[in-house]
Chains A and B, each alone.
Chain A
Amino acid sequence: AQSVTQPDIHITVSEGASLELRCNYSYGATPYLFWYVQSPGQGLQLLLKYFSGDTLVQGIKGFEAEFKRSQSSFNLRKPSVHWSDAAEYFCAPLDRGSTLGRLYFGRGTQLTVWP
């Protein structure tokens, strides 16, 4: 069965510190992979995506993610967190063999940033 795991429900970091949010997936074949961010009461914004090729993917707002096939992981990173990064982050794989376009979301990681 397909699944996605975000092990950390809540992470707290100080402003200026580095950040890594974890995402692991279990799919028959490597899925397409996405990270989304959601501020309170808002829609989801696409941060970055991985389809194939270079395993280090650059996104918006200074975020990057690294795809590791051997670990079935797609962790999100940022070298220096800003207070405005406080939000909910969702990892979402998409079965590339699907004809239905069903996007599965992890449960999310809530990021709190201390000043």
Chain B
Amino acid sequence: DTEVTQTPKHLVMGMTNKKSLKCEQHMGHRAMYWYKQKAKKPPELMFVYSYEKLSINESVPSRFSPECPNSSLLNLHLHALQPEDSALYLCASSPRLVEEQYFGPGTRLTVT
């Protein structure tokens, strides 16, 4: 089973709201990733976790806060977002770093 699940599927939030995106995998993978994808563009890497430790933060604004509570779960906490943060947020996992990544279906985020 190569399934990564993401919730919610869609999210609409105001600029003063606080919300969280959730990602889960039960494949025993030890690396997990957050990507942001704008329309008609390739995914852009935001964060990488390896063995529950943050290994890459691609200069993402602090209004995005990742969390990896355990090896199966990855959260992205959102606070005070801007309309330009509206995008498809994709989670991925891989057995370890430098191996193939498996993606979830994404969360479509709209910031109003």
Residue B75 is within 8 A (CB to CB) of chain A in the complex = no
Residue A107 is within 8 A (CB to CB) of chain B in the complex = yes
Interface-centre pick from A32, A98, A101 (highest chain B CB count, 10 A): A101
Residues on B close to A: CB < 8 A?
A: 2, 4, 6, 31, 33, 40-43, 45, 48, 50, 55-56, 88, 90, 92, 94, 96-106, 108
Residues from chain A with a CB closer than 8 A to the CB of B102 are 46
CB <8 Å contact, A43 and B105: yes
Residue A49 is within 8 A (CB to CB) of chain B in the complex = yes
A-B Cβ contacts below 8 A, count: 66
Residues from chain A with a CB closer than 8 A to the CB of B99 are 101
Q: Which residue of A lies closest to B96 (CB)?
A: A101
Interchain Cβ contacts under 8 Å between A and B, 22 examples: A42-B105, A43-B4, A43-B6, A43-B105, A44-B90, A44-B103, A46-B100, A46-B102, A49-B100, A90-B42, A94-B98, A98-B98, A100-B55, A101-B31, A101-B33, A101-B50, A101-B97, A101-B98, A102-B56, A103-B101, A105-B43, A108-B42
